[in-house]
Amino acid sequence: MAIRNSSEERASPEVPAPYGNGPSGTGVTASDTARRPGGRTRIHHLQQAKSNGEHFAMLTAYEQYTAEIFDEAGIEVLLVGDSASNNVFGNETSLPVTVDELLPLCRAVARSAKRALVVADLPFGSYEVSAEQAVATGVRFLKEGLAHAVKIEVSSFYAETVRAMVQAGIPVMAHIGFTPQSEHALGGYRVQGRGEDAQRLIHDAEALADAGAFCVLMEMVPAKTAEAVDAAISVPTIGIGAGNATTGQVLVWSDMAGLRRGKMAKFVKQYADIRTILSEAARTYGEEVRSGQFPSTEHTF
């Protein structure tokens, strides 16, 4: 008996995968990216932006599709923020999220972003104990999370920790000003660095940049203070609620695109209303299923 072609033998031909099957077909390989002008954003590109008086954009991303979309939209830096805690995992604050929860999100973002620099937040409790702990956690995010750099919420007190991480080959972004992981120590969400307190932030930024941080991120800082910090250090700065004198800007994507409901912080600009779009799509789908309108012959084999 002749051996039949296995594809003839199959009951039905193969169809496109109905669910996600990895980064969807851009057809772009790692080597294509390396060859393309405007390939992977590297730390030195952020430095160049500061030197040239240019700006770059950073958004959070927590999974494959948003990472792909933002990457293709040309967002230079993707942050796998510990804001996943209260944007993915359903917690009230960023405090409960763990290294083991963030690592798979980070891997998904890093695998999906062909051009963006991927920065991972080290979650609360994973770097404060010692420089050794910070190096060990940073290594996990580069090795297991495939991140290109990490971010930690710090003050000048952590300069030696930053130095040890940088020495170990871990690029560090230093987050100063309002640091959400210290929400309880800071007495809630409060603007930092007003008036004379600006000197404290300038001192923090200088100490952290001296220790090797490649970038300083400032959250909820008066624009004048942020400008003074930016002028005091040679590395690029990123702002969130810190005015427009910083080299880069960052927003949490679910705020920026209108996925989250509720009161937004003053510094959030909503560029879309994804929540309404998704809600209307889900409502219509539900109605069509209940009425028997879906699936029609068009969607039936």
Which residues are the active-site residues? 219
> Binding pattern to ligand KIV, positions 214-253, x when CB under 6 A?
---x-x--------------------x---------x-x-
Q: State the Cα angle at 61 between 21 and 69, rounded to 5°.
A: 60
In the bound state with ligand KIV, the residue whose beta carbon lies nearer, of 207 and 252, is: 252
Closest CB to ligand KIV among residues 129, 265: 265
Q: Which two tokens stand for residue 255?
A: 């705020």
CA distance 213 to 228: 18
Residue closer to ligand KIV by CB (options 6, 59) is: 59
Tokens representing 14 are 């193969």
* Only segment of 45-53, 80-88, 97-105, 276-284 that touches ligand KIV (CB under 6 A): 80-88
Q: Look up residue 223 and give its DSSP letter.
A: H
Which one of 14-22, 24-32, 76-84, 112-120 is the stretch in contact with ligand KIV (CB under 6 A)? 76-84
Q: How many other C-beta atoms can be found within 10 angstroms of the C-beta atom of residue 79? A: 31
How big is the site for ligand KIV, counted in residues (CB under 6 A)? 12
Q: How far apart are CA 105 and CA 138, in angstroms?
A: 15
76 touching ligand KIV, by CB under 6 A: no
| Contact code string over 52-71 relative to ligand KIV, x by CB under 6 A | --------x-----------
Task: Report if residue 121 touches ligand KIV, rule: CB under 6 A.
Answer: yes
Would you tell me how many other CB atoms lie within 10 Å of the CB of residue 185? 7
The 10 Å Cβ neighbour count of residue 144 is: 14
Do the Cβ atoms of 220 and 192 come closer than 8 Å? yes
- 83 contributes a contact to ligand KIV by CB under 6 A: yes
- Euclidean distance between CA atoms 32 and 75, whole angstroms: 18
Interface positions with ligand KIV (CB under 6 A): 60, 79, 81-83, 121, 175, 217, 219, 240, 250, 252
